[in-house]
Structure 1
Amino acid sequence: MSKFEVLSIIISILAVGISTISLVRTRKLAKEQLELERITAELSRLQIESIAEEKTNKTKPKFNVSLTKMGKSYNFYISNTGQGSAYNVNFELIDCEDSPLFNSELIDMFPYQEMRPGSRIKLLASLHFNSPSKYQSKLSWEDENGNKNEEIFWTSL
């Protein structure tokens, strides 16, 4: 074998070695890139879900029930602090044998036709010395799609 042939074989072997190393690195980079694309797709899906949930929360009512003393009288306040309206709102005290609410006021007010964002309902409460300090109440309503919802609240002085 001549020097030229040996040199050609060495150069060929080096070229095969360099090509093999390049191929291994390219496969490794391609694998990492596929993993990054999968993670990016998952993050995009989660972001879309978050945006959709945020959008639906903008149309949902959010309620708060509190018992407040103003002067010598006590009142239950039902507030809609959410960004959506509630329809056919009902309010009742649960497991309360000696209800401080006036039945006539409950019958006149409920079901409350529409509770818009930022609105509140005031109910006079007749508390006495033996009244419990905590009340459990249930608020039920319909959303704009006609779906029925309810939530339980614990209210204390």
Structure 2
Amino acid sequence: MSQYEILSVILACIATIVSLVVWGGQRKIQREANDLQRATSELAKKQLEILLREERGKNAARLSFDILKDGKTYRFRITNISDVAAKNVDLRLLVKPEDSPLVTNDYEAKFPVPILQPGGTVTLIAAIHFGSPTAYNAVLSWVNPDGVEVSEETYAAL
């Protein structure tokens, strides 16, 4: 082997080593790029889920339930705090019927509420006395504009 052939073999070996090092680096960069692309894809899916949930939320009514003092009497108040109307709104207190503070005539005259517009309220007389509890669990039920029936347990306290 001549000097030039040995030099060519050495240069070829160096070029092979450099190629292997660059190839390994590029594999590492490609792996990182794939991981980043996966993370970006998962983020896009989560953002889409959030947008869809917000879109469904715009078409769904939300109601609040509380107790307020009106002069010397107490009242239960149901308020539509959403941007859409709620239909067939109903209230059921989770107490024994004999312990219910609802005035039957008042309740029967107002419920179920056919349509509760956004920002609208319905009040009921609450016959609360010294022996009554100061907080009540209740179930509010209504129908959203898209026809979905919702039943939600809630809590109100003085």
Q: Same fold (TM over 0.5)?
A: yes
State the match for 2:40 in structure 1. 40
- Is the partner of 1:74 in helix, strand or coil? strand
How do 1:132-147 and structure 2 match up within 5 A? 132-147=133-148
State the match for 1:83 in structure 2. 83
Partners of 1:59 and 1:85 within 8 A in 2: no
The superposition leaves residues 58-114 of structure 1 with CA deviations (integer Å, 9 ceiling, x where unpaired) of: 222222111111211111110111233211001122223232222122112111111
- TM-superposed CA distance for 1:14, in Å, is 1.0
State the match for 1:26 in structure 2. 26
- Is the partner of 1:78 in helix, strand or coil? strand
Q: Distance in 2 between matches of 1:55 and 1:81?
A: 16
- Aligned Cα root-mean-square deviation (Å): 1.5
Partners of 1:82 and 1:118 within 8 A in 2: yes
- Is the partner of 2:99 in helix, strand or coil? coil
Deviant stretches of 4+, over 4 Å: none
5+ residue gaps, structure 1, are none
Q: Distance in 1 between matches of 2:120 and 2:45?
A: 36
Name the TM-score, length of structure 1 as normaliser: 0.92
Q: Distance in 2 between matches of 1:108 and 1:49?
A: 42
Name the TM-score, length of structure 2 as normaliser: 0.91
5+ residue gaps, structure 2, are none
Q: Distance in 2 between matches of 1:140 and 1:122?
A: 16
How do 1:95-106 and structure 2 match up within 5 A? 95-96=95-96, 97-106=98-107
Partners of 2:68 and 2:77 within 8 A in 1: yes
Count of paired positions: 157
- TM-superposed CA distance for 1:156, in Å, is 2.1
State the match for 2:14 in structure 1. 14
Instruction: Percent identity, please.
Output: 34
- TM-superposed CA distance for 1:126, in Å, is 2.1
State the match for 1:153 in structure 2. 154
- TM-superposed CA distance for 1:121, in Å, is 0.8
- TM-superposed CA distance for 1:120, in Å, is 1.1
Q: Distance in 1 between matches of 2:16 and 2:154?
A: 75
State the match for 1:127 in structure 2. 128
